[in-house]
């Protein structure tokens, strides 16, 4: 019995470990780093004779010895093969030395299948996209088989034998005797001059200093008649298939003359992102072979931590697919590039503009601060990456100074919380489930004087008020706050302040049960909300109040935007929490921007919660407006950069700070933005 339990446990462990295998491990053989080579300019004209006597050839560095095409773990070739490369404005020069005790070549006709003899093969992809690449083969007689392929065979590629490399120069030097097996030979040498013009597409010159080509070399060797043949290559592909351009080596063309200096090779791509993208390609190949369908979303790849750990900060994976096509990409905002691949294995590297962000502050007007002090502060904000300020209140001179510093100035004003109407419209104030009005018995604190959104005149009053504020001198837009009902549930860390535990919706904090709202709801549903046994579970009653606030917002928005002004709002974190806690359905509003107040300390949460909330907010808005993550500076002071990462990496268009930051942290913000390569939008 114990043995059976042990075996079952082991089987489960093996099963789980297999299921958790990451993509990079699964396709490890075809994801090793391709080799690299720095190709220098030749110092003198080269005579293509196969002897390599010129000083430039003597100084050129050889590639590493060829290995088995399948890579690590396979037998070392019994004969050494190495290649060299040089270039000038007209030719790419290739030389290869093939150790061979018995030099043989039977084929004599061009464009026959040369690898039926022992041969040397050159593969060239000048633009590195894996399509429309070239192959040139030769045997020890110098007989050529040259062709162009539109794409790899794995993607249904076709080869064009009719392409003969125009202007190709080749020579073979045999250090031994050809086709005489009774003696012992030493080696044969291939020398080629491949014309740039023969590989040029769209009038672009691929042979220029600073360019990278994808290049590989193969040697097919028949150690015994009838095979199997050996496949020895410079950069191993991981399987017996040379037609994997993604696995070929990288050749960098240096502008220096050979022997004049030594340049270290550097890869042209972020290789962690490059490898992961190709792992996704191989996954899609396997998926299609099994299901005749492609994976449709990045979540379907079940990336593990091991898959993603090599990606730089802020990397974004995208998958767009149908049953027969796909486009996958990995975007690296810090490097301003995007790597893209499609179902045919066509790879491209695209430049992307720097990510533009806007960052903000909420601030109260300090009457004790001098104009000079404000000027200095505004200049500091601008220097450190702040784009705009939301002022609680209005001061024309202060707004002017803010704009002169190159910052936006927005009027931040409360919406539903309006104590100035206490004397004028006492009937406009919201009523809780106990029948108490915020007019004379506000929830929590004395300044919680919330209006009822359904009272006639409320929405019109607010719309006209915001238009008036928006048209004051130097005001760039209006910023709504308290666009909601009183908190039916407070953030958890605030419960102790009021000696309450809001594990359910308490009637004294549940609004609006005024006569107007009750009558309107009853007309729609036939029910009086006060008769609902469980009002917190009635979707009709919840939606009624959500729609009431949305209706007010719509009227304000129409008026403000109709007047050509910008409108935004401070809202609760994440639409789902906002609906539950304050009856605020901001995910369905039509503002220019949203500032969810993701004050993680209020909810006893760490920085990771900021990211989750931002992600929900960005997905809810779905590109219709900007989302700026509102951060409470005292809560993030100890995790400043981590909090910023969570906001930006989950799609925020910027951040907005409340109660800070101070000068030292403003400079930290600037360093952070510079490090991430963000461009602060003016």
Interval 107-132: pLDDT, tens:
999 999 999 999 999 999 999 999 99
Pairwise CA distance, residues 403 & 401, whole Å: 5
Cα angle vertex 558, ends 555, 563, to 5°?
Answer: 130
Strand, coil or helix: 396: helix
Binning pLDDT at 50, 70 and 90, where does residue 20 land? low
Is a pLDDT exceeding 80 seen at residue 18?
A: no
Is a pLDDT exceeding 60 seen at residue 2?
A: no
What is the number of alpha carbons within 13 Å of residue 588 lying toward its C-beta?
Answer: 14
Instruction: Please name every residue paired with 357 in a beta bridge, in sequence order, or none if there are none.
Output: 680
How confident is the model over 168-200, as pLDDT tens digits? 999 999 999 999 999 999 999 999 999 999 999
CA-to-CA dists, residue 219 to 96, 136, 144, 166, angstroms:
10, 12, 14, 23
Binning pLDDT at 50, 70 and 90, where does residue 13 land? very low
CB 144 within 8 A of CB 138: yes
How confident is the model over 416-467, as pLDDT tens digits? 999 999 999 999 999 999 999 999 999 999 999 999 999 999 999 999 999 9
Q: Where are the domains of the chain?
A: 34-257, 271-351, 356-430+439-499+558-680
Over range 465-482, report the average pLDDT.
97
Is a pLDDT exceeding 80 seen at residue 635?
A: yes
Pairwise CA distance, residues 12 & 19, whole Å: 10
CA-to-CA dists, residue 393 to 153, 367, 516, 608, 662, angstroms:
68, 11, 32, 33, 21
Over range 295-305, report the average pLDDT.
96
Predicted pLDDT of residue 89: 97
Is a pLDDT exceeding 90 seen at residue 103?
A: yes
Give every CB contact of residue 44 below 8 A, 6+ residues apart in sequence: 54, 55, 56
For every residue of 74-142, DSSP letters joined together read SPPPSS-EEEEEEE-SSEEEEEEEEE-SS------STTS-GGGSSEEEEEEETT-SSSSEEEEEE-TT-
Indicate the CATH number for domain 356-430+439-499+558-680.
Answer: 3.20.20.80
Binning pLDDT at 50, 70 and 90, where does residue 65 land? very high
How confident is the model over 36-63, as pLDDT tens digits? 999 999 999 999 999 999 999 999 999 9
Give every CB contact of residue 223 below 8 A, 6+ residues apart in sequence: 78, 230
What is the number of alpha carbons within 13 Å of residue 175 lying toward its C-beta?
Answer: 13
Q: What is the pTM of this model?
A: 0.76
Binning pLDDT at 50, 70 and 90, where does residue 333 land? confident
Predicted pLDDT of residue 1: 33
CA-to-CA dists, residue 176 to 137, 255, 624, angstroms:
21, 37, 74
Indicate the CATH number for domain 34-257.
Answer: 2.60.40.1190
Supply the mean pLDDT for the chain: 95
Phi, psi torsion values for 223, nearest 5 degrees: -75, -25
């Amino acid at each position: 019995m114990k043995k059976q339990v042990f075996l079952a446990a082991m089987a489960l462990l093996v099963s789980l470990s297999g299921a958790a295998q990451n993509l990079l491990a699964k396709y490890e053989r075809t994801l090793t780093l391709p080799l690299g080579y720095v190709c220098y300019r030749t110092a003198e004209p080269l005579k293509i004779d196969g002897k390599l006597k010129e000083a430039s050839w003597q100084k050129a560095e050889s590639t590493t010895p060829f290995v088995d095409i399948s890579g690590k773990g396979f037998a070392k070739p019994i004969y050494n093969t190495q290649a060299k490369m040089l270039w000038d404005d007209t030719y790419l020069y290739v030389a290869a030395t093939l150790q061979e005790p018995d030099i043989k070549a039977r084929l004599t006709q061009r464009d026959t299948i040369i690898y039926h003899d022992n041969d040397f093969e050159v593969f060239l992809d000048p633009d590195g996209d894996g399509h429309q690449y070239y192959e040139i083969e030769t045997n020890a007689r110098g007989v050529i088989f040259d062709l162009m392929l539109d794409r790899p065979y794995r993607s249904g590629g076709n080869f064009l034998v009719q392409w003969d490399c125009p202007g190709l120069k080749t020579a073979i030097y045999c250090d031994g005797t050809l086709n005489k097996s009774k003696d012992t030979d030493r080696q044969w040498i291939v020398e080629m001059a491949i014309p740039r013009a023969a590989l040029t597409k769209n009038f672009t010159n691929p042979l220029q200093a600073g360019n990278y080509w994808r290049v590989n070399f193969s040697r097919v060797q028949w150690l015994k008649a009838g095979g199997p043949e050996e496949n020895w290559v410079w950069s191993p592909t991981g399987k017996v298939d040379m037609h994997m351009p993604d696995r070929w080596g990288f050749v960098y063309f240096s502008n220096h003359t050979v022997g004049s200096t030594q340049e270290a090779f550097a890869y042209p791509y972020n290789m962690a992102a490059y490898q992961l993208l190709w792992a996704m390609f191989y996954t899609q190949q396997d998926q299609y072979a099994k299901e005749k369908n492609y994976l449709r979303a990045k979540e379907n790849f079940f990336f593990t931590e091991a898959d993603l750990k090599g990606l730089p900060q802020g990397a974004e994976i995208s998958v767009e697919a149908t049953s027969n096509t796909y486009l996958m990409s990995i975007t690296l905002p810090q490097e301003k590039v995007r790597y893209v691949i499609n179902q045919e294995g066509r790879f491209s590297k695209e430049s992307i503009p720097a990510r533009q962000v806007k960052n903000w502050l909420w601030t109260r007007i300090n009457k004790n601060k001098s104009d000079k002090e404000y000027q200095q502060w505004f200049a500091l904000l601008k220097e450190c990456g702040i784009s705009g300020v939301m002022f609680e209140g209005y001061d024309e001179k202060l707004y002017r100074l803010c704009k002169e510093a190159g910052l936006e100035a927005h009027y931040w004003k409360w919406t539903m919380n309006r104590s100035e109407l206490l004397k004028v419209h006492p009937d406009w104030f919201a009523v809780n489930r106990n029948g108490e009005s915020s007019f004379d018995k506000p929830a929590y604190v004395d300044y919680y004087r919330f209006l009822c959104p359904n009272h006639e005149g409320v929405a019109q009053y607010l719309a006209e008020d915001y238009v008036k504020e928006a048209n004051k001198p130097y005001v760039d837009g209006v910023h709504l706050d308290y666009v909601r009902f009183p908190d039916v549930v407070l953030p958890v860390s605030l419960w102790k302040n009021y000696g309450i535990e809001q594990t359910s919706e308490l009637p004294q904090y549940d609004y609006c049960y005024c006569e107007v709202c009750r009558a309107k709801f009853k007309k729609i549903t036939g029910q009086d909300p006060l008769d609902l046994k469980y009002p917190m579970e009635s979707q009709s009653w919840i939606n009624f109040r959500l729609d009431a606030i949305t209706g007010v917002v719509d009227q304000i928005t129409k008026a403000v935007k109709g007047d050509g002004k910008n409108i935004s709002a401070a809202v609760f974190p994440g639409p789902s929490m906002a609906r539950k806690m304050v009856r605020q359905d901001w995910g369905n509003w039509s503002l220019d921007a949203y500032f969810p107040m993701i004050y993680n300390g209020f909810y006893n949460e760490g920085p990771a919660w900021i990211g989750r909330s931002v992600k929900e907010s960005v997905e809810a808005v779905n590109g219709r407006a900007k989302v700026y993550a509102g951060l409470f500076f005292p809560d993030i002071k100890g995790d400043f950069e981590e909090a910023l990462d969570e906001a930006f990496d989950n799609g925020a268009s910027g951040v907005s700070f409340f109660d800070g930051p101070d000068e030292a942290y403003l400079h930290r913000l600037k360093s952070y933005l510079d490090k991430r390569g963000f461009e602060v939008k003016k």
